[in-house]
Amino acid sequence: MPTFPNFFETSEEARMRLRRTIVKYKDDFYHIMEVSNHRQDGKFRVYMEPLGRSYVGRDANPLLPEISVYGEPSINGQILDEYLDSMSGRPESEVGVIRKYASSKHFNKFRPFPLGNVNTKGGVIHCERSPTRNMHQGLLSEAVVSTRVSITPSTYDPFKRGYRGDREADHPVHNTDINVYSPEFLFMLKGEYPSLAEVLTNLRDPDILNSGCAFHKDWSIMRGPAGTLFLCYKSSGVGQVYGLTGGRAASVISLRLKLSREFEFLKEELEEFGWFTGISIH
């Protein structure tokens, strides 16, 4: 496969594949506003804004200049350059946009990054990339398939044609709205979760109304009937958690799991994590 100085062969291709997507740069995540080659020096410049503000563009930072969605990238690039020059010396958090070369090694060749559980105010939403091919190199919001995590295993296929938007009562909610620019989505991207002990303590507190909470990109704890707690893998419940001692401050010293037989294949992975002192198959 040929290599190009700017990773992409042309600035038009770079713009088509990157604009309006989420990418990782070093250890942070950004929304790409524009890609331009307007300085005619052979270098593609990528203009990005940080995630975590729930909105992008002027909705997130009124100081940002207005750029046209359908405008010429060269004009947008010039506008953003002038803005960056005018904000020189101010902190990045106030400026709200950074400029990097597409050739930077810190983009890691725009490789995909893992998605997973997003902790929301009400519970947990599991996010995956749609398997449908698309032309974008970064993560496009429309390419995120989201599923409300449930303790009931589902045979429902969110990727099957004709199922999009289905809200049948016996299925978890799929394709639920998820804000990919929100702080909660950013926490997921960075892998920032409460510990298992913190999750268990909070879910045993009757004053906390959440249906569940994730402690890992693929693993979460959900509330069940009569005060029970269940371990969930991705979007489905896989077993009941028991052996907790104490009141609201749960002790995890003797935490055990009754793993459903259909998810027996997860036992080895769970044993490697070491979260449970015992795992039985039921």
Banded pLDDT at 126 (limits 50, 70, 90): very high
Banded pLDDT at 120 (limits 50, 70, 90): very high
Segment 188-225, tens digit of pLDDT: 999 999 999 999 999 988 898 899 999 999 999 999 99
Are 101 and 14 within 8 A, CB to CB?
no
> What's the average model confidence in pLDDT over 92-116?
94
State the Cα–Cα distance between residues 15 and 34, nearest whole angstrom.
7
Q: What are phi and psi of 168, to 5 degrees?
A: -65, 140
* Model pLDDT, residue 231: 97
Q: Which of 70-74, 154-158, 231-235 shows the lowest per-residue confidence on average (mean pLDDT)?
A: 154-158
Banded pLDDT at 251 (limits 50, 70, 90): low
Q: Which of 7-11, 76-80, 250-254 shows the lowest per-residue confidence on average (mean pLDDT)?
A: 250-254
Banded pLDDT at 165 (limits 50, 70, 90): very low
Instruction: Please return the burial class of 42, using the count of CB atoms within 10 Å of its CB with bins 0-12, 13-18 and 19+.
Output: exposed
Are 238 and 280 within 8 A, CB to CB?
no
* Model pLDDT, residue 247: 52
- The token duo for 185 is 């989505």
* Model pLDDT, residue 168: 41
In sequence order, the β-bridge partners of residue 214 are 220
Asked if pLDDT for residue 155 goes beyond 80, the answer is no
* Model pLDDT, residue 122: 86
Three-class SS of the chain: CCCCCECECCHHHHHHHHCCCEEEECCEEEEEEEEECCCCCCCCEEEEEECCCCCCHHHCCCCCCCCCCCCCHHHHHHHHHHHHHHCCCCCHHHHCCEEEECCCHHHHHHCCCCCCEEECCCCEEEEEECCCCCCCCCECHHHEEEEECECCCCCCCCCCCCCCCCCCCCCCCECCCCCCCCHHHHHHHHCCCCCHHHHHHHHCCCCCCCCEEECCCCEEEEECHHHCEEEEECCEEEEEEECCECCCCCECCCCEEEECHHHHHHHHHHHHHCCCCEEEEC
Asked if pLDDT for residue 175 goes beyond 80, the answer is no
State the Cα–Cα distance between residues 251 and 220, nearest whole angstrom.
17
* Model pLDDT, residue 34: 95
Give me the chain's average pLDDT, please: 87
CB contact set of 85 (below 8 Å; sequence gap of 6+) = none
Q: Which of 92-101, 161-170, 195-204, 255-264 shows the lowest per-residue confidence on average (mean pLDDT)?
A: 161-170
* Model pLDDT, residue 253: 59
CB contact set of 145 (below 8 Å; sequence gap of 6+) = 127, 128, 129, 130, 158, 159, 174, 175
Asked if pLDDT for residue 170 goes beyond 90, the answer is no
State the Cα–Cα distance between residues 226 and 222, nearest whole angstrom.
12
